[in-house]
């Protein structure tokens, strides 16, 4: 039954796609023979930033570093809750230098940064959802990092096993709609973890494979507006039925690298 959903203003951290391209392949979406249209990517990214601002959200930017083509995917650099920054340690050697570049920004902005000892790809795999921190593993972030994050934040951390390489990060298969609810694609998770999610979120929005493959779950919600891939048409209808307001933003050039809206957006939670 549709209720009146309330938006809350967010603080986002992003990185301009000045050096964005597909230069190596570390997930099934990345294929060097499919070139990125860099001018189109730049326009799509700018539209996302303008759309956030038009909806009242603050957006800050980390300077892009030459030679780091995936640095545009700001979500992977950290998880921030109550002003505490849990940094990153990338699985792929190609991405490792990104952690330091983001750490420099956080320190200059007045934050201390905790450096995880185990592989951890920020909000790519650690998704704050109400009372819980949902934590993906299977392709990137190590289980040991879930324990580190739980110790650091003191928030109950729920480990979730990802099983499909197309959904190699938790944020490609699940996003938080608000403090109470999430949307996800069940088949991206192991059978036991599907049960865990059903228990924690009995009212969740369940996406089809088609909508998940369209990066529909790589979305950002402010509690009312859901910034979402326009290709995820079924999910857009489901969200509308639940009283959310989908705001379609096309990041199709970034899909070629395995990323979408959420991947390009780090949330700084105070
Ligand atoms: N090419 C990047 C990688 O494979 C994409 C990262 C997408 N980010 C995300 N939060 N899912 O690491």
Cβ of 174 closer than 6 Å to ligand 1, yes or no, is: no
- Whether residue 262 lies inside any domain: the answer is yes
Cβ of 171 closer than 6 Å to ligand 1, yes or no, is: yes
Per-residue three-class SS string for 136-170? EECCCCCHHHHHHHHHHHCCCEEEEEECCHHHCCH
Cβ of 26 closer than 6 Å to ligand 1, yes or no, is: yes
Distance 257 CA to ligand 1 centre (A): 7
- Whether residue 263 lies inside any domain: the answer is yes
Distance 138 CA to ligand 1 centre (A): 14
Which ranges of the chain have pLDDT less than 70? Answer: 1-3
- Whether residue 1 lies inside any domain: the answer is no
Identify the residue whose tokens are 């190590």.
Answer: 142
- Whether residue 2 lies inside any domain: the answer is no
- CA-closest residue to ligand 1 atom 7: 259
DSSP 32-43: TTS---HHHHHH
Domain count, the chain: 1
* Residue 189 domain boundaries: 11-267
ipTM: 0.95
Q: Could you tell me the pTM of the whole model? A: 0.97
Handedness of CA 232, 234, 240, 242 (dihedral sign): negative
In tens, the pLDDT along 159-170 reads 999 999 999 999
pLDDT of the residue at 190: 98
- Whether residue 3 lies inside any domain: the answer is no
Cβ of 172 closer than 6 Å to ligand 1, yes or no, is: yes
- Whether residue 63 lies inside any domain: the answer is yes
Question: Which run of H or E residues covers position 103?
Answer: helix 97-108
In tens, the pLDDT along 107-132 reads 999 999 999 999 999 999 999 999 99
> Would you say 172 and 217 are in contact if contact means Cβ atoms under 8 Å apart?
yes
Distance 99 CA to ligand 1 centre (A): 14
CATH number of the CATH domain containing 204: 3.75.10.10
- Whether residue 5 lies inside any domain: the answer is no
- CA-closest residue to ligand 1 atom 6: 259
- Whether residue 187 lies inside any domain: the answer is yes
């Amino acid at each position: 039954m549709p209720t009146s959903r309330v938006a809350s203003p967010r603080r986002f951290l992003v990185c301009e796609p000045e050096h964005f391209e597909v230069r190596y392949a570390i997930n099934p979406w990345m294929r060097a023979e499919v070139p990125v249209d860099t001018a189109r990517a730049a326009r799509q990214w700018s539209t996302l930033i303008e759309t956030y601002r038009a909806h009242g959200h603050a957006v800050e930017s980390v300077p892009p570093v030459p030679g780091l083509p995936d640095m545009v995917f700001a979500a992977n650099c950290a998880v921030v809750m109550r002003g505490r920054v849990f940094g990153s340690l990338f699985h792929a050697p190609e991405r490792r230098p990104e952690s330091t570049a983001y750490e420099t920004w956080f320190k200059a902005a007045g934050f201390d940064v905790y450096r995880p000892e185990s592989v951890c790809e920020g909000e790519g795999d650690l998704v704050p959802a109400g009372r819980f921190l949902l934590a993906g593993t299977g392709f990137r972030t190590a289980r040991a990092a879930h324990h580190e994050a739980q110790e650091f934040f003191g928030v109950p951390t729920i480990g979730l096993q990802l099983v499909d390489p197309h959904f190699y990060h938790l944020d490609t298969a699940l996003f938080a709609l608000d403090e109470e609810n999430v949307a996800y694609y069940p088949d991206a998770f192991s059978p036991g973890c599907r049960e865990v999610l059903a228990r924690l979120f009995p009212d969740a929005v369940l996406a089809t494979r088609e909508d998940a493959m369209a990066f529909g779950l790589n979305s950002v919600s402010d509690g009312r507006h859901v910034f979402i891939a326009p290709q995820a048409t079924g999910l857009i209808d489901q969200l509308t039925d639940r009283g959310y307001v989908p705001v379609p933003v096309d990041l199709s050039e970034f899909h070629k690298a395995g990323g979408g809206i959420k991947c390009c957006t780090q949330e700084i939670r105070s």
